[in-house]
Each structure stands twice: as structure tokens, then as C-alpha cells.
């Protein structure tokens, strides 16, 4: 149960629709603390919305949820202004859930900045994606530990889950991670990122090779592969630091957008 | 106490001479060597431990156990589909399915009714035949307890990695045996605790290596 105002349990609900002109507009919005959105910007290729948080990041007891609906034929990109800081949580964890609904013919890009896990942070995060026929969705998911001036201290736990389903409920992708700062330190993993894309993008010839070349330029250790059932592509990234990760993500997103057969 | 016949069955099925096709897979090790991420026996041990703790214990074991505890085609199909959705690198999926189908072929040839049912599921497109769920179903069908089949499943993973390390010239036969001795405590430690309620996995370095293997020039292994 959230301590803050919600609508159907969510602090953020954005519904996008297609205008008679063919453009995309924000048809309906519910935005409550801690969220704030910028005025949607139409770059001629779709609508861009920057999502901001007025809070200090995630603290214990937070229960945040957001829902984004890309209506038929819309083109929407949601980015966050900055990384999400997860602070020490001695008594309770924090939970954030995002649901994306991409209706037929829509293209939706969910590109939040990374989750930064401070010592003692305990976070459960989930991304639920529902893809209708003819829709394209791209999502980013990344996290990194940060000792915040306390060398040797680690975040307590991270439970992260990305579930992608077709509109008939068929499970397409399940990326479920359970880890801790101590485990990460032992494994030598510094910064971890995932960029996934499902829909017609899977059929774009040569895109996987293009993305492999693009992500390598960042200097990160990365790989690209087709998702189960050839429903899309996934890029996994291990970077030395947040800056390298940001370059990798930007390079991948730009390469997808510029690919001649891409609809994203 | 474990029945001697069950123990002998497990030994036979865990033997590298059993025709299950496990020699064809490195599970990312080949590319990690190529990329300079693993260079010696210590690196192989670290890789084996990561595979054990961060994938086998948390995902494969869960799925093998669930498959062993049912004899229902629909539940087997559901487990297989779920594991497919969780396996995000293409060559990990294809490797898991090739190994699972090789195991089915061998057991079907030995007259296993469970293997024959599974082969029909695969032929009908109701399952892809992922190795952990096939291991659980087929080995339980051959009379193994959950404890024995889990041990065998973990053993085939690490022995396959040890054999791959020899073929990649990372270790000699004796050093590979040392690695297998080292991971004995890991396997015992994992099996001493109950499996997690929900399957999950986090082996990003190996995942990326398998993804890069798809575009690699040198390919001794299938993944």
C-alpha cells in the first residue's frame, strides 16, 4: 500500500492516442508524487516525455507504480531525467513496478536511467510489457552499485523482473534476477544493463550485427542475441562505470533508430 | 540410504560415455577464453562456480525438480516454455534443447516410456526439450530420487565444463579433476538448502559470451 496518492494503485498513468492528423498526443494523465512529467515534445517522429522524480529516490517502504499505454498507431518515447538512487533500507524494502501496454501499430520506447544501489538498499523492481500485434517496444533496464563513500559496504538485495507477454497472455520473455551487492562484488560485475526490443524489429535484417558493432564502440563487454521465439532482440552490457553504460545504451538506441528497416 | 541399483543407474547416466551429446557445449567458456576473460584453471573454477550458484541452483535445479515431481504432459510443456522464455541467449536455448533432445533420444532408445512421451511433445511442438526439465522427467522416470537426479544434473554441468576446459587447452586432465574436487563442496552446499520458490538466473558474463559466440570466428563448441 502506497503512502502517497494513487489512482488504481499507481502514482503515474499516461495514455497516449493518435490524433486525426496522424500525430501522437497525451490523451490522459494522472501524475502524483513523486512523479512529474515535462510537457510532451513532438520531434516529428513521435512524442517524447521526460519523467522526473521529485523525491530523493527510493527509500524503505516506497511502493511506486506506473502505467504507460501507447494507443493504436502512436509513437512514444519515455525517458527519465536522472538515475534513481536507492538508499539504505534497514527496516523495509522498496518496490517499483512499471507496466507498458503497446497497442497495435504503436511503437513505445521505455528508456529510464539506471538504478543506483547505495549500501543497504533493498529493492524489488518489475517491468511488465504487453505487446499487441504489430506493436514495437524497446526497453532499457540497468543497475549499478555505489558505495556512497562507504568502501566495502554493499547494497543488500535486488530483485528485478522483466516480463513480456503477447496480448493473449503468451509468455515471451522472462528476465528474473536476484542478486546482492556482495555477490556482485565477488563476481566482478560492476555495471549491468539490458536493452530489449520486441515486435517487428525482430524481422529487421542485419540489425543484430549493427547493434553488435554499435555497442562495441562504447568499450563495454556486450552481446546481442535473438529472443525466444525470434520475438525480438536483446543486448546485454557489462560496463566499467555508469558513463560507459550510458554510452552503450545511447549507441544502441541510436543504432536502432537509424536502422533503415527499423520502425522504432 | 541410496539403493545400489539407483546409484549404479546414476553413475551410468553421468558417465561421459553415455550418449547425451554434452561434449558439444561450453556454455560460454569458449568465448570467454577467446575474449581473454578466462585464462587458466582458476578462471575455469570461477566460471563453474558461477554457473552452479547463479544459474543451476536458482533455475535449472528448480525446473528439474518440478519436472521430476509431475508426470503430466501439460505441466512438462509449461515448464519447458517457461525455461525457454527465461533463456535469453539464442545459443543457450539451442544448446539446452539439443542436449535435452540428445538425452531423450538415448533414453527412448533404451525403452524409457517417459522419454517416448517427451519426444512426442517435442514432435508436436508442445515443448522444445530443454535439458533441465528433460533431465528431471526422464531421470525420475528411471527411478532416481530427487536428491540423486539433482546431484547428477549438477555433476553433468560441471563435468561438461571441466571437459570443455581440457579441449580448450586451459587445463590438463588432472587439473580438471582438481576443479571437480573443488566444486564438490559447492554442489553439496547448494543441495543442502531447499531450492528457491521462483526460478531466476543471473550470469551476465556467460550470457554475453554465448551471445558473442554467435558471431565468433572460432567455434569448437555449439555455444
pTM of this structure? 0.94
How far does B8 lie from chain A, in Å, by closest CA?
Answer: 36
| Residue A26 lies inside a defined structural domain of this protein | yes
Where in chain B are the domains? 37-213
Q: Give the C-alpha separation, A59 to A10, whole Å.
A: 17
Find the closest chain B residue to A162 by CA distance.
B86
Q: Are residues A222 and A115 in the same domain?
A: no
Per the CB < 8 Å rule, is B84 touching A228? yes
CB contact under 8 A, B58 and A223: no
Of A151 and A105, the structure prediction assigns the larger pLDDT to A105
Q: Which of A142, A176, A210 is the last residue of a domain?
A: A176
H/E run at residue A166: strand A157-166
User: Which candidate from A177, A209, A225 shows the least CB-CB separation from B202?
Assistant: A177
Contact B204 A236 (CB under 8 A): yes
Q: How many CB pairs under 8 A join A and B?
A: 77
pLDDT on residue A15 = 97
pLDDT at A179: 95
Closest by alpha carbon to A98, among A76, A125, A78? A125
Asked whether the predicted pLDDT for residue A260 surpasses 80, the reply is no
Which of A212, A228, A237 lies closest to B215 in CB terms? A212
What's the DSSP call for residue B147? H
The share of chain A scoring above pLDDT 70, in percent, equals 97
Q: Is the pLDDT assigned to residue A137 strictly greater than 60? A: yes
pLDDT at position A200, please? 85
Q: Each residue of B81-107: pLDDT tens digit?
A: 999 999 999 999 999 999 999 999 999
Which string of DSSP letters, residue by residue, matches B162-196?
A: HHHHHHTTSS-HHHHHHHHHHHHHHHHHHHHSPPP
Residues in CB range of B54: below 8 A, 6 or more apart: A183, A187, B201, B202, B203
- Within a domain: A105: yes
**A-side interface with B, Cβ within 8 Å?**
171-179, 183, 187-189, 192, 209, 212, 221-229, 234, 236-238
The pLDDT value recorded for residue B222 is 80
Q: How far is Cα A181 from Cα A121, in angstroms, rounded to an integer?
A: 9
Residues A124 and A21 in one domain: yes
Domain boundary residue, one of A176, A205, A231:
A176
Question: Chain A interface, mutation test: which of B90, B126, B186, most A Cβ atoms within 10 Å?
Answer: B90
- Average pLDDT score over residue span A67-96: 96
Question: Could you identify the residue written with the cell 539451442?
Answer: B94
Report pLDDT for B135: 96
Q: Do B208 and A189 touch (CB under 8 A)?
A: no
Cell numbers of A111, please? Answer: 528508456
- pLDDT band at B146; cut points 50, 70, 90: very high
Check whether residue A170 and residue A49 sit in a common domain. Answer: yes
How do residues B174-209 score in pLDDT, each as one tens digit?
A: 999 999 999 999 999 999 999 999 999 999 999 999
3-state secondary structure of B82: helix
**A238-262: average pLDDT:** 88
Closest CA to A127 of A93, A169, A96, A81: A96
Contact list, B206 vs chain A (CB under 8 Å)? none
Q: Report yes or no: B67 and B129 within 8 Å, Cβ to Cβ.
A: no
Judge if A100 and A217 occupy the same domain: no
The residue range of the domain holding A59 is 12-176
Say yes or no: domain B37-213 is CATH 1.10.4190.10. yes
**B88 contacts A225? CB cut-off 8 A:** yes
Exposed / middle / buried, residue A97 (Cβ in 10 Å: 0-12, 13-18, 19+): middle
CA distances from A167 to A27, A28, A99, A132, B11 (A): 22, 22, 13, 5, 46
Shared domain check, A199 and A103: no
Q: Do A174 and B208 touch (CB under 8 A)?
A: no
What pLDDT does B99 receive? Answer: 93
The enclosing H or E element of A246 equals: helix A242-258
- Please state, in angstroms and rounded to a whole number, the distance separating the CA atoms of residues B64 and B79: 9
> Residues A126-155: what's their mean pLDDT?
93
Provide the CATH number for the domain around residue A240: 3.30.1370
- Nearest by Cα to A86 from A63, A52, A51, A118: A118
Tell me: pLDDT of B1 over 60.
no
Q: Is B124 helix (H, G, I), strand (E, B) or coil?
A: coil
**Chain B residues bordering chain A (beta-carbon distance below 8 Å):** 35, 37, 50, 54, 58, 81-82, 84-91, 93, 196, 198-202, 204-205, 207-212, 214-215
State the average pLDDT for chain B. 94
Q: Which chain B residues touch A188 with a CB distance below 8 Å?
A: 205
User: Searching chain A, which residue's CA lies closest to the CA of residue B199?
Assistant: A176
The ipTM is 0.93
What average pLDDT does this structure show over B73-79? 98
The percent of residues in chain B predicted with pLDDT above 90, rounded, is 83
Between CA B223 and CA B221 the distance in angstroms is 5
* Domain shared by A31 and A162, yes or no: yes
Mean pLDDT of A97-123: 96
Cβ–Cβ < 8 Å for A97, A64: yes
| Least Cα separation, residue A184 to chain B (angstroms) | 10
- Our count of domains for chain A comes to 2
Cis peptide before A34 (omega within 30 of 0): yes
Contact between B104 and B58 under an 8 Å Cβ cutoff? The reply is no
What residues of B are in contact with residue A179 (Cβ under 8 Å)? 202
Contact indicator for A48, A38 with CB cutoff of 8 Å? no
CB atoms A226 and B91 under 8 Å: no
Cell 562495441 found at: A216
Buried b (16+ CB within 10 A) or exposed e, B199-211: bbbbbbbbbbbbb
Say yes or no for a CB contact (<8 Å) between B204 and A225: no
Q: Nearest by CB to B208, from A173, A175, A222: name it.
A: A222
H helix intervals, B35-145: 41-51, 61-68, 73-86, 90-109, 113-123, 131-141
Same domain, A139 and A241: no
Minimal C-alpha gap between B209 and chain A (Å): 7
Q: What does the pLDDT read at residue A188?
A: 74
Q: What confidence category does residue A51 fall into, taking pLDDT thresholds of 50, 70 and 90?
A: very high
Give residue-wise pLDDT tens across range A184-210: 887 777 899 999 999 987 778 889 999
Tell me the pLDDT tens digit for each residue of B110-130. 999 999 999 999 999 999 999
Residues of B with Cβ-Cβ distance to A225 under 8 angstroms: 88-91, 210-211, 214
Question: What pLDDT, on the 0 to 100 scale, is given for residue A1?
Answer: 58
Does A55 share its domain with A139? yes
Phi, psi (degrees; rounded to nearest 5) at A105: 80, 5
Mean pLDDT of A157-163: 97
pLDDT at residue A2 in the model:
63
| Average pLDDT, integer, range A150-156 | 89
Residues of chain A positioned with their CB less than 8 A from the CB of B34: none
H runs (alpha helix) in chain A: 181-187, 207-216, 242-258
Contact A90/A118 with Cβ under 8 angstroms? no
Position B199 scores a pLDDT of 98
C-alpha cell at B19: 550418449
Q: Which of A125, A228, A234, A240 is the best mutation test for B, with the most CBs of B within 10 A?
A: A228
Amino acid at each position: 500500500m502506497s503512502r502517497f496518492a494513487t489512482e488504481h494503485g499507481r502514482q503515474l498513468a499516461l495514455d497516449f492516442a493518435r490524433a486525426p492528423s496522424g500525430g501522437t498526443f497525451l490523451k490522459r494523465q494522472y501524475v502524483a508524487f513523486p512523479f512529474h512529467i515535462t510537457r510532451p515534445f513532438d520531434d516529428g517522429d513521435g512524442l517524447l516525455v521526460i519523467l522526473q522524480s521529485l523525491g530523493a529516490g527510493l527509500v524503505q517502504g516506497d511502493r511506486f507504480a506506473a502505467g504507460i499505454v501507447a494507443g493504436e498507431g502512436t509513437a512514444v518515447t519515455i525517458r527519465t531525467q536522472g538515475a534513481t538512487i536507492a538508499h539504505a533500507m534497514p527496516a523495509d524494502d522498496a518496490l517499483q513496478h512499471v507496466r507498458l501496454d503497446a497497442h497495435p501499430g504503436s511503437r513505445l520506447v521505455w528508456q529510464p536511467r539506471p538504478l543506483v544501489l547505495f549500501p543497504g538498499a533493498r529493492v524489488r523492481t518489475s517491468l511488465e510489457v504487453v505487446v499487441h500485434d504489430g506493436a514495437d517496444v524497446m526497453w532499457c533496464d540497468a543497475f549499478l552499485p555505489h558505495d556512497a563513500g562507504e568502501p566495502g559496504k554493499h547494497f543488500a538485495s535486488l530483485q528485478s523482473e522483466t516480463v513480456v507477454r503477447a496480448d493473449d497472455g503468451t509468455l515471451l520473455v522472462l528476465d528474473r534476477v536476484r542478486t546482492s551487492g556482495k555477490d556482485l562484488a565477488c563476481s566482478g560485475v560492476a555495471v549491468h544493463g539490458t536493452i530489449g526490443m520486441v515486435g517487428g524489429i525482430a524481422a529487421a535484417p542485419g540489425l543484430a550485427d549493427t547493434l553488435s558493432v554499435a555497442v562495441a564502440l562504447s568499450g563495454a563487454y556486450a552481446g546481442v542475441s535473438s529472443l525466444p521465439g525470434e520475438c525480438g532482440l536483446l543486448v546485454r552490457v557489462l560496463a566499467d562505470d555508469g558513463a560507459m553504460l550510458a554510452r552503450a545504451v545511447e549507441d544502441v538506441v541510436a543504432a536502432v533508430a537509424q536502422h533503415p528497416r527499423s520502425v522504432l | 540410504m541410496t539403493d545400489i541399483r539407483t546409484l549404479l543407474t546414476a553413475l551410468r547416466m553421468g558417465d561421459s560415455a553415455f550418449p547425451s551429446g554434452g561434449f558439444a557445449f561450453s556454455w560460454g567458456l569458449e568465448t570467454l577464453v577467446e575474449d581473454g576473460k578466462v585464462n587458466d584453471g582458476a578462471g575455469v573454477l570461477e566460471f563453474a562456480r558461477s554457473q552452479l550458484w547463479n544459474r543451476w541452483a536458482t533455475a535449472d535445479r528448480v525446473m528439474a525438480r518440478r519436472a521430476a515431481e509431475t508426470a503430466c504432459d501439460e505441466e512438462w510443456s509449461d515448464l519447458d516454455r517457461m525455461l525457454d522464455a527465461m533463456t535469453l541467449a539464442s545459443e543457450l536455448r539451442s544448446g539446452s534443447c539439443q542436449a535435452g533432445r540428445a538425452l531423450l533420444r538415448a533414453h527412448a532408445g533404451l525403452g524409457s516410456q517417459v522419454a517416448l512421451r517427451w519426444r512426442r511433445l517435442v514432435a508436436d511442438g508442445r515443448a522444445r526439450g530443454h535439458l533441465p526439465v528433460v533431465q528431471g522427467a526422464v531421470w525420475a522416470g528411471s527411478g532416481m530420487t530427487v536428491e540423486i537426479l539433482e546431484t547428477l544434473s549438477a555433476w553433468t554441468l560441471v563435468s561438461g565444463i571441466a571437459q570443455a576446459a581440457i579441449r580448450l587447452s586451459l587445463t590438463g586432465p588432472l587439473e580438471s579433476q582438481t576443479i571437480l574436487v573443488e566444486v564438490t563442496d559447492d554442489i553439496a552446499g547448494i543441495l543442502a538448502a531447499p531450492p528457491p520458490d521462483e526460478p531466476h538466473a543471473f550470469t551476465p558474463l556467460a550470457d554475453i559470451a554465448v551471445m558473442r559466440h554467435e558471431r565468433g570466428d572460432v567455434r569448437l563448441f555449439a555455444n
